[in-house]
Structure 1
C-alpha cells in the first residue's frame, strides 16, 4: 500500500506539466492541479452534491450542505468537526417514487443554510424527496433541534427539484427572502420570490403571471438600504414577437411591504427593470451585448455591484464584467412603468400619473404608493464604467477583494476548470496575475460541477462546493516566488518581499511595502527564473524495496525557464527519515575456558542483538543469546574422588531481590586433600522486592525571569515539580529514594486567575540584530526593531521588540549603529563626588571611522536623596530656608551656653546635643526598590520589594528568628516569596518618596 502511494506521488511530481493554454509553456502565472495541491485543502469522504455554504468565523468553522448530510469543517485544517445525516423518511421516499420521480431525485438535498444574527441559530432546508422542509438547529451541534421550533414547510424556501436554481438571504430582522421554483405537481413549474418569517404575513410574487417572472434563472439576492434586490435572467417580454431572447433583470421589493390587500399574499412594491452589460464597438454607435447574467458580487464598502455576464450558448465564447453603483440603481427605479394594450402590442411607457414611491416602516396598508398593475420599468441600468471583456472563457462565479485600493477580481470559469486572479489597473484594464487549475485530470468533466463559492477575506481563501468535493484554496500563493526579483515581477498585490526573512510573504492593508495602485502593472514575464523548490510536504509513511517502513516527505521543482537562462533546482526531491531498522545478531564470542578439574563441566558463549540494533519499531532478534556445550571430561583417580555427599542448601540470605545459598562437602581421604571444589554457591529469591511508591506535587512557585518581555506582559508564570518517593522493601534496610520526574508550568493573568497549565513555556530563538532606524536615524519618532522566532509553538512573550533611535547622530547613518543610552555613574565611593559614565555603538560594516565607546564625567549620586534631583523647586526653597533658620538658632544657643555656663558642663551639654541630633534608626532613606534589615550580628539582607523580586525562604527564616522585636520599615507579602535567588538590582536613580518617612513601623513578628 505504501509503495503504491509513494509511486503515485513520485508520478505526480515528475510529470507535473502545465497544460498548454498559452504560447509560453513556462509562464509562472499558470499553476497545474498537482502544484495547486500544496495550497489546497480537499474534503471528499463519500458524500456528493455539495451545495450550500456558511462561513461561521465566530466558531472557526465552515458548514456545508450535501445530499442527505450536513458537514461542519474546521476553517484552519479542514478536518471534520461533525457530520449529521439528514435523510427523508421511507414513507416520503415511496410517495416521491410513486409520482414518477427518479430514485436520484427522491433524496434530501440540503439547499438552504443561513445563520440568524439575533440568536445565532442555523436555518437548514432540504428538498426532502419533493416535499421541502426546514428546521432551526444549533450551529455547533447539528443534531440538536431547537425545542420550541417545529419542522417548517419549505415551499418557496427550497426548490422541489434539486436541479432548479435557488438563492436566499436571511437579513438582520430575521426575515428570509428566497427566490426559487415550486413544483407541487409533476410538470407544473411555479417560480417565485418570497418573504418568510415576517411578523405580519408571508408574501410572494404573483402566481402564474409571466409579466412578473418568465422562466427565471435566479442569481443573487442583496439587502441594500430599505430594499431587497433580486438579480436573475429570464425570457424577455419586450421582444417576444421577434423570437425568444434572454434579458438580465433586477427585481425590487420594499422591506416594509404588507401586501396588496388585507387577505392577499402578493407583494405591493414589486417592480423590475433590465440590467444591461455591453461593449461599444469601434464606430461607438453599435454595441455588443452580454445578456446572460451569471454572478453578482456586492462591495458594501464602495457601494459597487459587480456583475458577470456571458454570451448565449450559441458557439461563441466570451464574458464581461460590468460595475454598477447603488446610486444609479436607485435612480433608474424611479423611471416609469411599461405597459401594452394587447398581447401583440409594443411595450410603451405608461401614461398613468406616477406617485412618489415610499418605503417606510410605518407605511399604512390603506394607501397605495404605486400602481397595482404594471411591474416592468422602462429604465435600463447601464454599467457605470467600461465593460471588462474576456474573449476566451465563460464566467461561472465572480468574487472581488480590495487591498490597498487595488481591486482584485477572482473569476471561476463556468466549466469549473480554472480559477483566475486579475488586478484592475489604473486605466481600467485587467491584468492576469495567476491561473490555477481546480479539476484533477483524472476527474471526468461530466462528474464535475461547481455549485457555490465564498471568499474569506481575512485568510484570502476561497471555499468551493462541487458535485463531488469541497475545496478550500488560497489565492495568496507568495511562497512560489523564491527571489525578490520574481516576487516583484509577479505584480501580485497580495505579495511583498521581506528583506529580513529573505522570502516573499503575504502583504496586508497596513503594510507599507505592498504594491501601490499607481505602480501596479502587468507581470513581467521576460525575466530569468531559476527553478525553485516548493515547500516540503507533510511526512507520510513509505516503504523501501527491502520492506522497511520509513517516513518520507517530498517537494517539487517549479518555475524553471531555460529560455531565460533559468537554472534547475539543486538538492534532493525526496527526504527519508526514521526508517525501521531490524535487529541483527553480532558474531558469537569465544568459548569460555574449561577448568582442569575432575567431573563433567560445561563451557558457554554469547552474542547480542546489536548488528544492527533495532530502531523505530524494527523487529528484535529471534534466537538464543547463549549457547553451552560440555567440556572434555577429566576422569579422576579413586584416591582423589572420595568425597562426601553435599549438605543441604542453607537458608537464602534475602527474601527477595536476589540472595545466595551455600552447601559444603568434605574430602574423605586420609590426608584430607582433594582437587574438587568443596563449597558451592547459588542465587536464590531472584524476584524483585515490592516497592512502595507515591507521588506528590510541590506548590506552585512563581518564576522570576531576567527577560523584561516576560515581566511586562501582565502574565504570571509559575512552576511546580512532581516528586516520586520510592521505598524498596528489603529485609536488611529500607532506603528512601526521592526524585523529580515531571515539571509543569502554568500561566495566569495578573490577578492570579484563569490559569492554564502546559508542559513547557516554549523556546525562543536568539534575537536578531537591530534593524536600521526607520524612517531615518536622527529623526524624531524613528525606531529600530528586532525579532525572534518561537521554536516549538508554545512561547510566551513578544516576537518583536522596538526601541527609539531618534537620539543617534546624523553623521553616523551609514556604517555605525545608534548610540546606546548613557550608563549610570560607576566607581562612586563615599569620598568621591565625580566619576565617569559611557555609551557604546556597533560597527555595521567592516570599515567605520570613529570610536565605538565614548566616556564623560558625571556627578556621583548624593547619599541624601533630597539632593539627587537636579531640579530646584519651591518646596526645596522653603525647606532650605527652614533648615537655615534652625541652624542659625542652634548657633545662637551654643554661643549662649558657652558664655553663661561653667566650663565643667561643656562636655555634658555637647554629648546631649550630639545624641539629640543623630538620626533615628527608623528614619533611614526609604527606597522604592530595596529595604535593608539589620540583625544583631551586623549582617544585612536586602529584600526585594513585593512588586519586583523574590527572596530565599531559608534566609527569611534565619534572619527573622534573630530579630523578634525589631521594628521593620516595610511589609513583605509571604505569597510573593519564591524559592529563586533575586537577580542583581538595576542601577536606577529614583527620587525619594515624601511619603516614605510616614510609613508605619511594623513589628517583625507581624510579618
Structure 2
C-alpha cells in the first residue's frame, strides 16, 4: 500500500468511484403534459441526456426532461368555477428541464382571473294541473293512456326547469278480446358440416336450421294468421378452411444502423415468416417480426442557442447634430439581447442581436404632471381560498399630450415633474368562488 492510500485509510477516508445512474430513456418529452413517449431502454443518465430533446424516468419517478430549464406554454384557461354569476378561471405552466426557470416578471406557475358564464342563475318553474287523459292506445285488450302537464306555473327563469315528468301513463282495458297471430320462434342452431376442411376450388357443403310457428301459435277463436315464410333455412358452410400449412420464422437479418448520430438511439433486426409461410389458414408465426436494441453514439447532440430577454433601451440620441432634448423632435435608440446556451455545434439564435427604435428625449426636462390611465387589472391573488383580490392603479406621470406618439414607453430619460398634488390611486376588486386550497 502506498503512502497516500495508507494516510487515507488511517484518517478514515474512503474513495468510492462514482456509479452511473441507470434510467429509462425516452426519445420524446412533451412539455404540454410532462409525459415521456417512445421508450428506448435502460441506459446511463448521462448517455440519455446527451440529447436535450429526450426525457427520462428514474426508478419509481416521474418523467423529466433532458433540456435546460424552460417554461412550458400557458395551458388553456380552465372552465369558470361556477356556472352562473361571479367565479374565476385559471391557467398554469410548468418548469421542465435541468435547473430552475428564471421568472423576472414574477408571473409564477398559475394565473387566476374573474369570469362569468351567465349573469343570472337558473330559477325553477312550477307545474300546471294535469290535462285530460288521451284515448287508449289499442282497440282490444289492454293498452296505455297518457296525460300531460306544462312547466308554466310559474315559468322557469334563466334556463331553469321543473322537477318531475311532463307526461304520465296508465294502463287501460278495452274489455275486447284480440286475435293472436302466429309468430316464429327463434331459429334453431345450424346443423353440422360434414367436412373439417375443403379442397381449394370446390364448393363448400351446406348447413341447415329450422324454426316453428309457436311464438305464439295462432289463436283459433278469434282466428289468428299463420306465420309467413319458410320454416327451413340453408346456407353454405363458412369458416371451413382449406387444408392448412402453419408458418415458421426464417433467420434474423442484419441489424439496421443506429437511428441517431449522437446520444442514445435504437437499431432493429427483422425476420420473415417464410420458412414456410402460412397458407390456407395455417397459423402465423408466434412472436415478433422485429426487435429493437438500444445503441449509443458517445457524442453530445447539438444544443441550439436561445435569446435572453431584451436589455434596457440605451440613451436616446439625435439623428444629426440638432438637439432633440425636451422638444418634439424624434431621436433613435437601441437595445441588445444575448444568444446564450449554444453548445456542441448547435445553431446560433435566429434574428437580430440589436433592435433600433425611435424615441423622444425627455431626460431632465421640466414637464407638467398628469394622472396616467388606469392600468390593466392584475390577476387574482391568492390563487385559492377566500380573501382573493385583483388590483389596478394609476400614477402621476409626465404630460406627453404635445407629442405625436402618446405611448409613455416611447420616451427616454427621467423628466422633472411635480407630483405634489397627484397621488397614486389604487382600486381593488374581490375575486369570488375560487377553488379550495
Larger Rg: 1
TM class by shorter chain equals under 0.3
TM-score by length of 1: 0.10
TM-score by length of 2: 0.19
Q: Which has the higher helix share?
A: 1
